[in-house]
Amino acid sequence: MLQKNRLGRVQEKMWKLGFHQMLVTDPMAIYWLCGKMIVPGERFLGLLIRTQENTPGQKDVPESTQNDAPMTAPAVLIVNELFRFEEELGMPKVYYSDTDDVTAVIKPLLDPSKRLGVDKTMAARFLISLMEAGAAAGYVNGSLSVDETRAVKDNAEQEKLRIASRVNDAAMEQFKGLIHAGVTELEVADQMLAIYKSLGASGHSFDPIVAFGDHAADPHHMPDHTPLQEGDTVLFDVGCIVNDYCSDMTRTFYFRKEPDEETRTIYNLVRKANESAEEMLRPGIEIASVDRCARDIITEGGYGPYFTHRLGHFIGLQDHEYGDVSLANHSLEQAGIVHSIEPGIYKPGTAGVRIEDLVLITPDGHEVLNHSPHDLIVLG
Amino acid sequence: MLQKNRLGRVQEKMWKLGFHQMLVTDPMAIYWLCGKMIVPGERFLGLLIRTQENTPGQKDVPESTQNDAPMTAPAVLIVNELFRFEEELGMPKVYYSDTDDVTAVIKPLLDPSKRLGVDKTMAARFLISLMEAGAAAGYVNGSLSVDETRAVKDNAEQEKLRIASRVNDAAMEQFKGLIHAGVTELEVADQMLAIYKSLGASGHSFDPIVAFGDHAADPHHMPDHTPLQEGDTVLFDVGCIVNDYCSDMTRTFYFRKEPDEETRTIYNLVRKANESAEEMLRPGIEIASVDRCARDIITEGGYGPYFTHRLGHFIGLQDHEYGDVSLANHSLEQAGIVHSIEPGIYKPGTAGVRIEDLVLITPDGHEVLNHSPHDLIVLG
């Protein structure tokens, strides 16, 4: 069903960005806006959004849009008839077939005297074809209207993200039990899905990272046939999907032996970077300042060059959504944003440590969605 | 390494289509052209291809491109430094970083006085940004230059496709052995990957379709917890990847009981449609005529309305590549094309049958890449 509140927030951003018709083509953004997931493959799928430009200030989403004509409704779904469905979405649907010219189907729905916003992933074949047909007065990348709105989660989304991270915490407890001498990274990784499913998740939110020993010093290591040995680091970077929403957490453990002094120093530095960054989170602070806080701690500890990535990423229906926690993001934290905080130090031959939580920005501050402890733990 | 023969064929099509610079952004097309697979996520990845427009008729790919400057080389790879690699590809690489404006990196490589071809999946955010920067004199969907070239497989590709289908034939023999009373579709599907891997495949080329009973009448049925019962249809639509190339085959069996008369009629009609379409294949015939041959047989048999999809699709590095075997494809068969022939009849409540092979068009005719028999077989 069309999420009128979300649609209204997108229309508000369209006003601010200065365009009044927009084609959203990202299937996940369409799902977020109208609750219907369609994976159209190479075929066109679009949600056309209109503001009521001639009556600025007027509420953009009328009470009932159900019976509005496709020519005037604030939202219209354009979809191939192969994906025809009966469900009422509270907005008109326009179907086309494989023998139709989809551009000729879209064009009459657009106002050729106005600019058209398109989302950042719209395929060139559709965009160029609309341009060649003179469907609009100009074309702008209008993704921010959707992306910045999706970044701020409503209450229902926050609760789903909370639950997904709770399942991830419970799974992490069980993952520790998969560890024994000689087990390989892949053998551990291959058992994770069943554990997630037993806890109510529908699947992984990304391919799990299981890294033993020096592999932990590669932030994107893929699990392989390396067997676990006494003294190894054991890094799990894992997440699952529950009710469509993603979790994502990293913990770094040690197998059967306290790590050496430098590794302990590195661990404590990463932990301090994680916890200090989390502590400062509240609406209104610059997102770059959060990355800077964590980075400064690691740099002052002498490991700056070994923290080689941004501090975090936004998350929701997808594991990586629009929004960086990096020095380049000068926008402000807002209540409802959910992102990771995942400082790491990767010094090959010495140690690799990452500690990652998801955090929700609340009106008063923040809520850390993960509760697995940050302590240095020796397993086995 | 840059595949100069493939590049030359793409450049030839660019000449015919009337543009002389092109950005290829599809990672699989880039892999096909230069042997390097990079999955850039949201970051830009592009292979810039230039023809030597000022000297028409001259060979487009010089003997050595290794040391050509990025400003003049016939092919240049533009890639984020996160994906930096040492391997020499026989062409210049241009790296950019996350703090660079990628449009400003691409623009000087283009001739602003000429049109730019882009591929059909290029993301709007890159295309609109190039347009706003005035990077070229116009923008065209130039995908056909790559897609039509990829459709015609060279000898090395033909051999890989042959091997992938041989593995698929061997796997189909073993899949028959997974069948017993009470086993569910999902239980059978879940065992297929291990069998493929034991035969040398790296994975599925698509999620396998296992359909029991009336599920066979749904051409896109996903395996579920339905248990197998005596008298059921058993339909397998399966494929694997070997050395990067895909296979795809469908066979329809019966469990422990000869099917009834109407089902046998339907089976024999589908078999005849498959074999008649395959028999006619040779370079120079219209592709639509192949679909028509199969469709006419099924229609004359009285089941036309139950054959609800195109006869086939092209295949190669991807299970579904550009190119339909349908009434709408008026282009001609050429030696080197590989596609499926997969007629089906789907009459819910009565029977669902599909028989699919891959076929290679040869200079003299064709080669059917699958050798699993077409006979009506009762299992168990």
Tell whether A5 lies on the interface with B, counting CB pairs under 8 A: no
Judge whether B142 and A125 are in contact, CB under 8 Å.
no
Quote the minimal CA–CA distance from B27 to chain A in Å: 14
Contact A124 B123 (CB under 8 A): yes
Q: Which residues in chain B are contacts of A197 at CB distance < 8 A?
A: none
Question: What pLDDT shows up at residue A71?
Answer: 87
A53 φ/ψ angles, rounded to the nearest 5 degrees: -60, -35
Name which of B127, B129, B143 is nearest A127 (Cβ-Cβ): B127
Full DSSP string of A234-245: EEEEE-EEETTE
- As for the ipTM of the complex, it is 0.82
Quote the minimal CA–CA distance from A322 to chain B in Å: 10
Question: Tens place of pLDDT for every residue, chain B, 380 residues?
Answer: 999 999 999 999 999 999 999 999 999 999 999 999 999 988 999 999 999 875 444 555 555 444 458 888 999 999 999 899 999 999 999 999 888 899 999 999 999 999 999 999 999 999 999 999 999 999 999 999 999 999 999 999 999 999 999 999 999 999 999 999 999 999 999 999 999 999 999 999 999 999 999 999 998 899 999 999 999 999 999 999 999 999 999 999 999 999 999 999 999 999 999 999 999 999 999 999 999 999 999 999 999 999 999 999 999 999 999 999 999 999 999 999 999 999 999 999 999 999 999 999 999 999 999 999 999 999 98
Cβ atoms within 10 Å, residue B121: 17
Q: Which residues in chain B are contacts of A97 at CB distance < 8 A?
A: none
Mutation target to probe the B interface, by most B beta carbons within 10 A, among A127, A145, A206, A314 is A127
For residue B286, the 8-state DSSP code is: B
Q: What percent of chain A is predicted at pLDDT more than 90? A: 91
pLDDT band at A67 (very low <50, low <70, confident <90, very high): very low
Contact B139 A128 (CB under 8 A): yes
Question: What pLDDT shows up at residue B82?
Answer: 85
pLDDT band at A68 (very low <50, low <70, confident <90, very high): low
Average pLDDT, chain A: 94
Contact A141 B129 (CB under 8 A): yes
Where are the alpha helices (H) located in chain A, listed in sequence order? 4-17, 27-34, 102-106, 124-132, 143-151, 155-176, 185-198, 261-279, 287-300
Q: How far is CA A320 from CA A33, A273, A313, B42, in A?
A: 18, 22, 6, 10
Residue B319 CB contacts under 8 Å (≥ 6 apart), including other chains: B205, B206, B239, B246, B248
pTM for the model stands at 0.85
- For A268-293, what is the mean pLDDT? 98
Query: A with B: how many residue pairs have Cβ under 8 Å apart?
Result: 56
Residue A227 CB contacts under 8 Å (≥ 6 apart), including other chains: A181, A182, A183, A184, A212
Tell whether B220 lies on the interface with A, counting CB pairs under 8 A: no
Mutation target to probe the A interface, by most A beta carbons within 10 A, among B25, B97, B125 is B125
Contact B125 A141 (CB under 8 A): yes
Tell whether B225 lies on the interface with A, counting CB pairs under 8 A: no
Quote the minimal CA–CA distance from B126 to chain A in Å: 8
Contact A121 B124 (CB under 8 A): yes
